Amino acid sequence: MVGMTTDNSAKSGIPLCVDLDGTLIRSDLLIESALALLAQRPLAIFSMLAWLLRGKAHLKREIARRVVVDPSTLPYNAELIDWLSEQRTQRQVVLCTASDITLARPVADHAAVFDDVIASNGDINLSGTRKARVLIERFGDKAFDYIGNAPVDLAVWKHAHAALVVENGHSLSSAAAKVATVEKRFEVRSGGSRTWAKALRIHQWIKNVLVFLPLLASHRLLEVDSLIPSLLAFFCFGLCASSVYITNDLLDLPADRQHHRKRNRPFAAGTLPLIAGPVLAVILLVAGFGLAMFVSRSFIGVLLAYYVLTSAYSIRLKRVMMLDVVVLATLYTTRILAGTAALHTKPSFWLLAFSMFIFLSLAMVKRFTELLTLQKSGKVKASGRGYDVEDIPLIQSLGASSGYLAVLVLALYVDSTASMSLYEHPHYLWMLCPLLLYWISRTWAIAHRGVMHDDPVVFAVMDRTSQILGVIAAVIVAAAI
C-alpha cells in the first residue's frame, strides 16, 4: 500500500497528507479509469459489476490492471501544486488516496511534489475511517495535517493536527471546523449554468432544425397538426443528442485533453464532476424517448436508430478512417428521416440524396480542419482518429467532390416531376445551384486557409456570408412556390 519513499530526515515539520481525487486533480481516477476501460470494451460494464461484489478496492485494482491513465493530461489543481512545492521544502508531503496505487503512483511522479504515496492496494479501500486509521498508525493521532475535498474526509480531519480544505463555497470548511482546526482553504469554482449548457452543447441543437426540412419541403409549415409533432421531434433529438454528447465527452477524455479546443470542455477540464455525467446522460435519454411517445411509433424507431448509430460512432466508429465521415453524414440525414416520420409521410429520395452528399462534404471539412491544425502543431497522427496529416489532400479532394455532387442532385431535382408537382415556377430553383456552388467552394477555400471553425455547421450558421446566401435562397424558394 506504500509507494515511493525519500529521505525526510532534514524535514522536521508536521507531515502533510494530500488527497488525490477532487483535491490534487479536478477529477476522479476511478471514474477516469472505468470510462477508459468502457471506451475500449463496452461490455466490461458487466465485469465491473462482478468485481464490485468483491469490494470497491477489488474493483479499482481490476480496472487499474487493464487501463493506463496518462497523468500528464489530468486536470490538476495548479494553485495547490504550487503551494505543495513550497511545503515540501519544510516538511514531508504524502499523497494519501483511495485510488489504486497502480494509478496513483504515476500521478505522484508527474506532480513531483510528494515524498511518499499511500493508496488502496486491491484489498483495502483507503477511504474515510480506513484512511484515518492508516495515517494514525503511520504518524500518530493529531500528528499530521490533511488536505481533502469531500464530506468523507471529516473522518480523517477528526484525527488531524489541522484541516486544509479544497471546496466550492464554505459548507465543507464549516463542517471541518467542528472536528479540527481549519488552517487553509483552497477555493475551486465549479461550473454554473453556462458550463452545464456547454456540456449539453445546447448550441449544437441547431443541427436538429433538419427535422423541419420535410415540413418545409412539403409546404405544410402553417399546418398546426404538422408543426406540433415536428417541434416535439426537434426537442426529442436535442435531448437525445445532448445525452450522446455527454457520453462521448466522458469516453473521449484523453483525446479531448490533447486537443487545443476540446480540452476546455467541462468534463475534460474538470469544471464539472465526472460522476454527474453518466447520471445526466441517462436522465436526458429517458426524457427524450419519453417525449417521443407523443410523436409516433415510427419516429421512436428512427430516434432509436439514431441513438444506436451515434453511440456506436462515439465508442468505435469515429476511429475508423472514412467510415466516420459517412456515419456523420448518415446521422444528419437521419434527422430528416425523423422529420418525415413525425409527419407520417414518405421520405423524399431527392432530399435524402442531397443530404448525404452535402453533409459528407461538411464532415470532410471537419476532418480536414482538424488535420490542418494538427499539421501546424507539428504532429503527425490525430489522437483517437484513424487519420494522419498525409491524408489532407485526399480528404480535401473527396470533400469538395461530395459538395459538388450535392449541387448535381439539386439540379436534377429542379428538372424532375417531383419539383413540378410542388412548385408553380420550379425553373426559379435553378438559381439555387450557383448559390450552392459558391458556398461550397468558399467553405473549402476558408478551410484550406486554416481559418475554418472546428464545426462547419456552426460556421454555416454564424458566418455572415452564409446567412446572406440563406436569405437569398429562401426568397428564391418563396418565388418558386
**pLDDT in the model for residue 5:** 43
Same domain flag for 157 and 247: no
| 294 part of a folded domain | yes
* CATH label of the domain that carries residue 120: 3.40.50.1000
Could you please report the per-residue DSSP string of 384-419?
TSS-BGGGHHHHHHHHHHHHHHHHHHHHHHHTSHHH
CB of 347 closer than 8 Å to CB of 435: no
What is the number of domains present in the chain?
Answer: 2
Q: In 3D, which of 13, 161, 9, 182 has the Cα closest to residue 87?
A: 13
Same domain, yes or no, for 49 and 142?
yes
Residue 8 lies in a domain: no
According to DSSP, the β-strands at 93-100 and 162-167 are unpaired
C-alpha cell at 247: 457520453
The answer to whether residues 474 and 341 belong to one domain is: yes
CA angle, residues 455, 461, 463, in degrees to nearest 5: 90
| Of 122, 142, 123, nearest in space to 132 by CA | 142
**Sheet with 116-120: strands ordered across:** 116-120, 93-100, 16-18, 145-148, 162-167, 182-187
pLDDT in tens, 146-191: 999 999 999 999 999 999 999 988 899 999 999 999 999 998 877 7
Last residue of a domain, one of 133, 159, 187: 187
* Claim to verify: residue 165 and residue 269 sit in the same structural domain: no
Q: How far is the first Cα of the chain from the last one, in angstroms, to the nearest whole number?
A: 76
Domain end point (choices 187, 215, 241): 187
Q: Which residues contact 387 (CB under 8 A, 6 or more apart)?
A: 321, 367, 370, 371, 381, 395
Tell me the DSSP string of 152-210: GGHHHHTTSSEEEEEESSSHHHHHHHTTS-EEEEEE-PPP-HHHHHHHHTGGGGGGGGG
Q: Supply the pLDDT for residue 349.
A: 87
Q: Are 103 and 153 in a shared domain?
A: yes
Please report whether residue 247 resides in a domain. yes
CA-CA distance, 401 to 65, in Å (whole number)?
Answer: 47
3 state SS of 374: helix
d(CA 166, CA 26) in angstroms, rounded, equals 10
Residue 3 lies in a domain: no
* pLDDT given for residue 1 in this prediction: 45
| pLDDT tens for each residue of the chain, 481 residues long | 444 444 444 556 899 999 999 999 999 999 999 999 998 888 899 999 999 999 999 999 999 999 999 999 999 999 999 999 999 999 999 999 999 999 999 999 999 999 999 999 999 999 999 999 999 999 999 999 999 999 999 999 999 999 999 998 889 999 999 999 999 999 887 777 888 888 888 888 888 888 998 888 777 777 778 889 999 999 999 999 999 889 988 988 888 888 777 888 889 888 888 888 999 999 999 999 999 999 989 999 999 999 999 888 877 888 888 999 999 999 999 999 998 999 888 888 888 999 999 999 999 999 999 888 888 877 767 666 778 888 899 999 999 999 999 999 999 998 888 888 888 888 899 999 999 999 999 999 999 998 887 778 778 888 899 999 999 998 998 898 8
Is 193 a member of any domain?
A: no
User: In the prediction, which pLDDT does 383 show?
Assistant: 63
Same domain, 307 and 183: no
Quick one: 320 and 386 in the same domain? yes
Point out the domain boundary residue: 187, 208, 238: 187
Query: Is residue 304 a part of any domain in this protein?
Result: yes
SS3 96: strand
Within this chain, do residues 77 and 183 fall inside the same structural domain, yes or no? yes
In a domain, 4, yes or no: no
Cβ atoms of 174 and 154 closer than 8 Å: no
State the Cα–Cα distance between residues 351 and 51, nearest whole angstrom.
50
Residues 172 and 218 in one domain: no
pLDDT in tens, 378-429: 776 766 677 888 889 999 999 999 999 999 999 999 888 888 888 888 889 9
Same domain, 310 and 237: yes
The reply to whether 93 falls in a domain is yes
Amino acid at the residue 21: D
In this structure, are residues 367 and 387 in contact, taking their beta carbons and an 8 Å threshold? Answer: yes
> What's the CA gap between 15 and 271, in Å, rounded?
30
DSSP-assigned beta bridge partners for residue 162: 145
Query: Does residue 255 sit in the same domain as residue 153?
Result: no
Query: Which three three-digit cell numbers place residue 24?
Result: 490534487
List Cβ neighbours of 446 (8 Å cut-off, separation of 6 or more). 452, 459
Q: What is the pLDDT of residues 109-138, one digit of tens each?
A: 999 999 999 999 999 999 999 999 999 999
Q: What are the backbone angles phi and psi of residue 454, rounded to the nearest 5°?
A: -55, -30
* Domain span at 345: 200-480
Q: Kindly state whether residues 289 and 426 are assigned to the same domain.
A: yes
pLDDT score of 4: 44
Residue 77 one-letter amino acid: N
Q: Give residue 365's pLDDT.
A: 93
Q: What is the CATH number of the domain that holds 245?
A: 1.10.600
Pick from 441, 228, 434, 236: nearest CA to 335: 236
